[in-house]
Amino acid sequence: MPKKLLLSVCASALLFNGVAKADEIFTTVFNVFESKKSETILVLSAADGRVYKTFKSEENLKRMKSLVGQIVRLDYTVVQGDEARINAIRPAVPGEVDPKVVDLNHFRYNELRLVAPTDFQSMEEVENIFDNFLNDGDKGRSECFKRAHIWSYDMWSKLNVTSEKIFIFWTKRFSLLEDYEWWFHVAPMVKVNGTEYVLDSTFFKKPVTVETWRNYFMKSDKITCPIVDKYQDYESHQWNRLCYLMKVPMHYFRPYDIEDRDKKGIERNHWVLDELQDARRSFWGWDKKYEGLDSGKPTKKH
């Protein structure tokens, strides 16, 4: 890193020193662009769906854009609520990241299975699952896609419920207007007599319709978020709308899995143990209750 740039990054970080503790993450840089609301550059993280921010300059923008698509180590500090400020960022060096974490599609079944979502006959059944089965997990150490993955897996493995997932993707247009802290959110979804209900106990106290779920995040019932089938429909239309919705099978973990499906033909029809163990750590008492996901393999305790 150039000396001038390093000093500027450090100075930016020091402004917020003492407000919150620093942390780090290995992630792939999904996208980079300049904010129109503040003097910051927005760095979209693929690993956790977060938008990380750094100071705006032509030199810094060029460097951040050079990292798009690369796996990086990102050191940051959370300030002013959820705002994550970049302290340092660099490409990961060989051997620093487990290849299984880098490539989440490290195995596939030879024969794809078509899985139809469960259609319940009464709201009472779904409300019972929501009240007694789902829990909010430990939000201090989790992201939405990890909670959604475990909720989906537990419903499938313990209750024989096949769910879908619904993603809301905010566009570049929305991010520039709102300076929002995240670029997607996801939750499980099931049907009741053909009507889709989202199970998102982080933000709701009961199952809600897709429309109610969307309106909550957009803070309006006037904003439409078109439902798209392909990742490219969202990626290639960043200025047409503020948001898009996408429904996928329960096995899809991150947006990159959807992108791989639509661009590389890599279907997801199975659970990946490493992902489940990673996601399980988002929940209270995971090390006591879910040792190795009952696989016989011990998990490391943090």
Q: Look up the CATH architecture of domain 3-91.
A: Beta Barrel (2.40)
Question: What is the chain's length?
Answer: 302
**Measured between alpha carbons, how far is 285 from 274 in angstroms, rounded to an integer?**
18
Q: What span, in angstroms and rounded, lies between the C-alpha atoms of 15 and 87?
A: 11
Average pLDDT, the chain: 80
User: Looking at the predicted structure, is the pLDDT value of residue 121 above 60?
Assistant: yes
Q: What are the extents of the domains in the chain?
A: 3-91, 102-294
- Say what the pLDDT of residue 2 is: 45
CB–CB of 147/280 below 8 Å? no
pLDDT for residue 139: 59
Residue 247 bridge partners (DSSP): 166
Look at residue 9 and tell me whether its pLDDT is greater than 70: no
Report whether CATH 1.25.40 matches the domain 102-294: no
Q: What CA–CA distance (Å, rounded) separates 72 from 169?
A: 23
Does 281 score more than 90 pLDDT? no
Q: Are 142 and 208 in contact (CB under 8 A)?
A: no
The pLDDT of residue 108 is: 30
Q: Are 106 and 272 in contact (CB under 8 A)?
A: yes
CB 183 within 8 A of CB 170: yes
| Nearest in space to 169 (alpha carbons), one of 188, 151, 190, 183 | 183
Residues with Cβ within 8 Å of 207's Cβ and at least 6 positions away in sequence, in order, are: 123, 126, 127, 130, 190, 192, 197, 198, 199
Contact 299, 292 (CB under 8 A): yes
Check residue 43 and give its pLDDT: 94
Kindly report, residue by residue over 171-191, the tens digit of the pLDDT: 999 988 888 888 999 999 999
- Residue 127 or residue 5, greater confidence: 127
Q: Where are the beta strands (DSSP E) in the chain?
A: 22-34, 40-45, 51-55, 71-79, 83-91, 119-120, 164-170, 184-192, 195-198, 208-209, 243-249
Residues 82 and 173: their CA atoms lie apart, in Å, by: 20
Tokens encoding 118:
């469960």
pLDDT tens-place string over residues 31-54: 898 988 899 999 988 777 889 999
Choose among 98, 136, 157: nearest CA to 276.
Answer: 157
pLDDT bin (cut points 50, 70, 90) of residue 107 is very low
Fold equal for 3-91 and 102-294: no
Which is more confidently placed, 285 or 87? 87
- Rounded to whole angstroms, the Cα distance separating 71 from 92 reads 6
Per DSSP, which regions of 152-238 are E strands? 164-170, 184-192, 195-198, 208-209
pTM, whole model, 2 decimals?
0.66
Per-residue confidence at 70, pLDDT binned at 50, 70, 90?
Answer: confident
- State the burial class of residue 188 (Cβ atoms within 10 Å of its Cβ: 0-12, 13-18, 19+): buried
To the nearest whole percent, how much of the chain has pLDDT over 90?
47
